[in-house]
Amino acid sequence: MKHLEFIKNNQTLNKSNLSGSNYYYENQNLLGPKILLAEGWSKVLEFVEYLRSLKPLKPLEYNHRLCLAVPKSKADWTNREVFMKLISDKKEELNYRKIFFHFDIGYLDAETSAILQLVDDNTGFNGSRRRNILNPHVVQVGISNLVNGLKNCTYVLFYRNENNNNDNKHDHTSNNIKNSNTNKSSHNI
């Protein structure tokens, strides 16, 4: 597991910036930011076991109409009012009710970004990003991103089949948005 070697104990970081995180992920070969992690190695290993327990999922259909325009200003990337307006406008435009949203600010490397989202060890998301990505009732996805320097902002919009009413335990969009602290939502330092 090549990603385990990039998880480090936070003792070397400034304690005032840790937000309850005990570890961080840093791959200097990729020139990305330090990503705060709550549980570190144990969370990655737990994720591997979780994947082994899953039944295979149907492939998601990419839908370009689900893509949101990532704001050009870095300050707006995590601004709750900005992305809530984008989501609301998209729901109205497409007449979709069951949309999940999450965002990620981190590595330019797609594999690393995806692994960190699936491990979902950031303190502010409480596993909601993993649940959105691996929700068996999600049928379509739109992925948008914007690179500014060494930072990459990715917005992901998931669409769940409107005919499936048996999925309340997987509906984490509002919970994800309510729980995200817009000042610390990127979990970068």
pLDDT band at residue 175 under the 50/70/90 scheme:
very low
Q: Average of pLDDT values for 145-172?
A: 73
Q: What is the DSSP string of 24-48?
A: EE--TTTT---EEESSTHHHHHHHH
What type of residue is 75? Answer: A
**In the chain, what is the straight-line distance between the N-terminal and C-terminal CA atoms, in Å?**
24
Q: Enumerate domains of the chain plus CATH numbers.
A: 2-179 (3.40.33)
Is it the case that residue 13 has pLDDT exceeding 60? no
For residues 106 and 35, the answer to whether their CB atoms sit within 8 Å is yes
Q: Between these two residues, 178 and 165, which has the higher pLDDT value?
A: 165
Per DSSP, helices labelled H in 2-141 are: 41-53, 74-77, 80-94, 110-119, 128-133
Distances 186 to 51, 82, 117 between C-alpha atoms, Å? 25, 15, 11
Distances 121 to 47, 127, 154, 181 between C-alpha atoms, Å? 10, 7, 17, 15
What pLDDT was estimated at residue 114? 81
Q: What is the pLDDT of residues 117-157, one digit of tens each?
A: 888 776 666 778 888 889 999 999 999 999 888 788 999 99
* This prediction's pTM: 0.74
How far apart CA 184 and CA 189 sit, in angstroms, is: 9
Q: Average of pLDDT values for 51-58?
A: 91
